[in-house]
Each structure stands twice: as structure tokens, then as C-alpha cells.
């Protein structure tokens, strides 16, 4: 494996892990800073297990039966690591299948393994089946629920004369990629657009922010809503000004499962959001849905240098 591929593989594990735990309520509420360390250890242990024990099996064709056994083995292994951090439903089937299936999809696309027998199951994919609104992958607890969705996907794939993995690759589209996706229309501010149809040019900062942030941003107005902020929101341009005022060209994400009074990273995005915008200060705010797509906790958001006239 050359250096370029090694880099992509390191990145894919970040993406696979984050995608598998987002919105899944995997951990107990109100974890302490000590438990945060346990969560990091849990994550690294799971990734190592999937990377070293499961993925190598797929260098040759793996049957559906063996693939389902691998998902069950992953669940069993995860539930033996640490019972103090996981929520009531422990390491759920939906999380396990998403982690393994997404990792396999990435490895397959990189040409590192044979085609996997299944594909990642998430809301985008479930919504294309007859189980739309009936099965939620983040609450999926049993293999039978999983196989119901897989069976539907198999039927759809047969209509297109392709495999399950190929069908998902052909049909998976994020919201902004779909043909029916309509960007948020810009509301004109007083004094803007003297003539009808006139648009105000975006600044370099605004274009950078629009490229960097996820769909939580109204990409013309740059308002970002905090999903755990009790209705709090902020303008992304304020973030750029805050970063520049700090004398740096970046800010770390720094999300912590700790009260605001016990927060240990006062220069982080999480601390700044809690201090200035969140109505629920004791809840972490710099969650991944607010931050740069694909980044993991502890990474940073960079801004371009300030241009001088």
C-alpha cells in the first residue's frame, strides 16, 4: 500500500466511525471527562478490531452468512470492552452494520478487497425501500430488521441487473446531490440589490464557509443552527472574525461531555458556542453536524488569510 492509499485509509476510518455513531445515541448521557477518555479508547479498539480481524477476510469473496456472522461478532466484541459508557441498548446492530459495511465500501472502492455482499444501511438508503418511515437504522437492534432492508435492496438491485453493493453505489446520493434538492433562497436585506435580479457578490470568507459547512448552513445567509443549543444559532462569518481576532487561522472543535464550568478547552469552538450562543450551556455544542463535514472531534476549522488592500 503506497503512501497515498495509506492516507486515504486513515481518513476512511474517521469517516466510517463518525457516520456509524452520528445520531445513534450510543453512549450514556452526561459522560464525564474521564468517560470521554474511555470513549476514545472504545472507538480506537473497535476500529482496530474491524481493521485487523474483519476487513482482511474480504480479500476473497465472503458469503452473506459469514458477513452477518461478522456483524454479530463485532457486536459481541464491542459489548465486552466497557459497559460503563454505552447506553441502554449497548452496541446496537444498526451501528455495527453501518461501521463494517461502510468501511468495506471504502476498501472496495479503493481496490483493496473484493466486492462486499451487502452495503451500508442508513436513512438515505432505507428511504428508497418499502421500509421508509418504518425502520430507523440508528434504532435497529436485530438482524431480522437489517435483513428485511437488505431483501428489499436485493429486489431493487435485481431490477437494475446489478449486485447490492453496486446498486447502493449507483443510488446513494446525499441531500445536496439529489435532483429534487432546492438550495435555500436568499432573503434580501434592506439596502441590498438596488435593481431586481441584482445579487450581492459573496466575499472570499463566505465562499469558503459555504464550501466548508454542511447542510445546517443556509448557504447564502450562513446561519448555523445548534441542534443541542435550545434554539441557539450563529452566523458563520462571526466565527471567522473570532478566529482571526485570536491571532490564529484555525479553531479546534474541542467538544466535551462536561458542564460549561468544567470545560477544559476555553479556546475551542465548543466553548465559544456555549458561551455566546447556546441556551443550554452544559450540553456540548460543537457536534459533527455543526462542524466541517468528515472531520472528527478534536480537529480544526481553518480560515483563509485575511486579504489586505
Q: Rounded to 5 degrees, what are φ and ψ at 184?
A: -65, 130
Q: What is the pLDDT of residues 168-190, one digit of tens each?
A: 999 987 544 555 545 545 444 44
How confident is the model at residue 295, as a pLDDT?
36
Q: Are residues 155 and 264 in the same domain?
A: no
Contact 117, 67 (CB under 8 A): yes
The residue assigned the cell 429486489 is 155
Instruction: Return the top range by mean pLDDT from 80-89, 173-182, 287-296.
Output: 80-89
Query: Alpha-carbon dihedral of residues 90, 95, 100, 106, nearest 10 degrees?
Result: -150
Q: What angle do CA 291, 81, 112 make, to 5 degrees?
A: 65
Q: Is residue 90 in a domain?
A: yes
Q: Is residue 185 in a domain?
A: no
Domain span at residue 118? 3-175
Considering just the CA atoms, what is the radius of gyration of the chain in Å?
21
Q: Are residues 275 and 157 in the same domain?
A: no
CA distance 309 to 300: 28
C-alpha cell at 24: 445513534
Q: Are residues 145 and 208 in the same domain?
A: no
Read off the pLDDT band of 83 (50, 70, 90).
low
CA distance 204 to 182: 23
How confident is the model at residue 191, as a pLDDT?
42
Q: Are residues 219 and 136 in the same domain?
A: no
CA distance 12 to 94: 19
Amino acid at each position: 500500500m503506497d503512501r497515498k492509499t495509506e492516507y486515504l485509509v486513515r481518513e476512511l476510518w474517521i469517516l466510517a466511525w463518525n457516520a456509524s455513531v452520528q445520531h445513534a445515541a450510543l453512549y450514556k448521557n452526561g459522560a464525564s471527562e474521564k468517560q470521554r477518555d474511555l470513549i476514545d479508547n472504545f472507538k480506537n479498539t473497535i476500529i482496530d478490531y474491524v481493521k485487523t480481524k474483519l476487513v482482511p477476510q474480504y480479500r476473497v469473496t465472503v458469503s452473506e452468512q459469514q458477513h452477518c456472522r461478522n456483524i454479530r461478532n463485532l457486536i459481541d466484541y464491542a459489548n465486552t470492552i466497557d459497559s460503563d459508557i454505552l447506553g441502554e441498548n449497548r452496541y446496537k446492530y444498526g451501528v455495527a452494520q453501518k461501521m463494517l459495511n461502510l468501511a468495506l465500501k471504502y476498501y472496495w472502492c479503493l481496490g483493496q478487497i473484493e466486492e462486499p455482499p451487502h452495503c451500508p444501511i442508513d436513512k438515505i438508503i432505507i428511504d428508497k425501500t418499502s421500509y421508509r418511515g418504518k425502520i430507523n437504522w440508528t434504532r435497529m437492534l436485530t438482524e431480522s430488521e437489517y435483513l428485511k432492508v437488505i431483501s428489499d435492496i436485493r429486489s431493487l438491485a435485481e431490477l437494475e441487473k446489478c449486485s447490492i453493493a453496486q446498486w447502493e453505489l449507483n443510488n446513494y446520493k446525499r441531500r445536496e446531490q439529489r435532483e429534487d434538492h432546492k438550495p435555500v433562497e436568499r432573503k434580501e436585506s434592506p439596502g441590498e440589490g438596488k435593481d431586481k435580479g441584482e445579487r450581492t457578490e459573496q466575499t472570499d470568507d463566505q465562499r469558503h464557509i459555504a464550501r466548508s459547512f454542511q447542510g445546517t448552513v443556509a448557504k447564502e445567509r450562513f446561519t448555523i443552527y445548534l441542534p443541542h443549543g435550545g434554539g441557539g444559532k450563529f452566523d458563520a462569518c462571526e466565527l471567522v472574525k473570532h478566529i482571526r481576532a485570536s491571532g490564529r487561522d484555525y479553531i479546534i472543535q474541542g467538544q466535551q461531555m462536561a458542564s460549561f464550568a468544567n470545560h477544559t478547552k476555553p479556546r475551542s469552538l465548543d466553548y465559544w458556542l456555549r458561551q455566546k450562543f447556546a441556551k443550554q450551556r452544559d450540553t456540548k455544542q460543537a457536534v459533527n453536524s455543526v462542524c466541517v463535514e468528515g472531520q472528527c472531534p478534536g480537529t480544526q476549522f481553518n480560515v483563509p488569510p485575511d486579504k489586505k488592500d
